Amino acid sequence: MIESFYSPDDLVALWISLKLATLTVALLLLLCTPLAWWLATTRSRLRVVGEAMAALPLVLPPTVLGFYLLLFLGPYGWGGRLMHHLGLQPLSFSFGGLVIGSMLYSMPFVIQPLQGAFQAVGARALEVAATLRAPPWDRFFTVAVPLARRGFITGSVLAFAHTLGEFGVVLMLGGNIPGRTQTASIVIFNHVEALDYSGAQRLSITLLVACFILLLIVYGANRHRAEVAAVA
């Protein structure tokens, strides 16, 4: 039944989108947690510079961001030459390149909620933990992270949805290659370009419904936990 509703290209593209969004979120959480923690706690003057830079990917039109990444990661750019020195293929037009592009493109959506959540934790809770002789890493993982849970959830959900809907960056950097860099949002665009509107609608509805259900689950679970915490 699935095969009659979607074309094989649709299914492959949905799978690539899902892989891309999951991997992007996982890597962004690893990368942005220390960055956001630093932005939330530092008194350095470099903080404003860091905040400004973390918001920059929002400014450029996605195709332009994709174009610069293409130059950077291509065989003549720094990124591409570095890969060459390491004996590897350039990342442009590969799934790995899409992961890098998506991470850059969705980074503000993870950093900003995390920074806000860490700031809301405040110094007080951590000081109390310190007086109970919790070492710094323990204070971070058992006090700051659980208290900043909402920030982690919001950041993950936003980055996941943003990556699913990403178009300009993946089209420019990935080259729209079926089975490799062709994501669901690009297939929707292809359907529209080929004037196949019913094909476009099938995939669009799929993305919308899937994301809606995902958001419902995440926000629902979050609300439930918040209520439990409030009662306790």
Partner 1 sequence: MTEPAQRSMRLGARRLAVLCLLALSWLSGPAARAEELNVAVAANFFGTLQKLAPKFEQASGNKLLLSSGSSGQFYTQIRQGAPFDVLLSADSDRPKQLETEGLGIAGSRFTYAIGTLVLWSPKADVVDRDGKVLRGGAYHMIGIADPRNAPYGAAAQQVLTALGLWETLNQDKKLAVGENINQAWQFAATGNVDMAFVALSQVSDGNAISGSSWLPPQALYTPLQQDAVILTRTGKRAVAEAFLKWLRDDPQAIATIKAAGYHVAE
How far is 193 from 183, CA to CA, in rounded Å? 15
Q: Which stretch binds partner 1 (CB under 8 A): 24-32, 90-98, 117-125, 128-136?
A: 90-98
Residue whose CB is less far from partner 1, 103 or 172: 172
Q: Which residues contact 202 (CB under 8 A, 6 or more apart)?
A: 5, 6, 10
Q: What is the CA radius of gyration of the chain?
A: 20
Q: Which residues contact 70 (CB under 8 A, 6 or more apart)?
A: 92, 172, 173
How many CB atoms neighbour CB 154 within 10 A?
A: 20
Which residue among 48, 88, 194, 213 contacts partner 1 (CB under 8 A)?
194
Say if residues 100 and 91 touch (Cβ distance below 8 Å): yes
79 contributes a contact to partner 1 by CB under 8 A = no
State the nearest-atom distance from the C-beta of 6 to partner 1, in Å: 16
Which residue among 57, 62, 79, 90 contacts partner 1 (CB under 8 A)?
90
Site for partner 1, residues 167 to 186, rule: CB under 8 A: 171-172, 175-179, 182
137 contributes a contact to partner 1 by CB under 8 A = no
How many CB atoms neighbour CB 216 within 10 A?
A: 10
Site for partner 1, residues 45 to 74, rule: CB under 8 A: 67, 70-71, 74
Tell me which residues touch partner 1 (CB under 8 A): 67, 70-71, 74-76, 80, 90, 92-93, 171-172, 175-179, 182, 190, 192-196
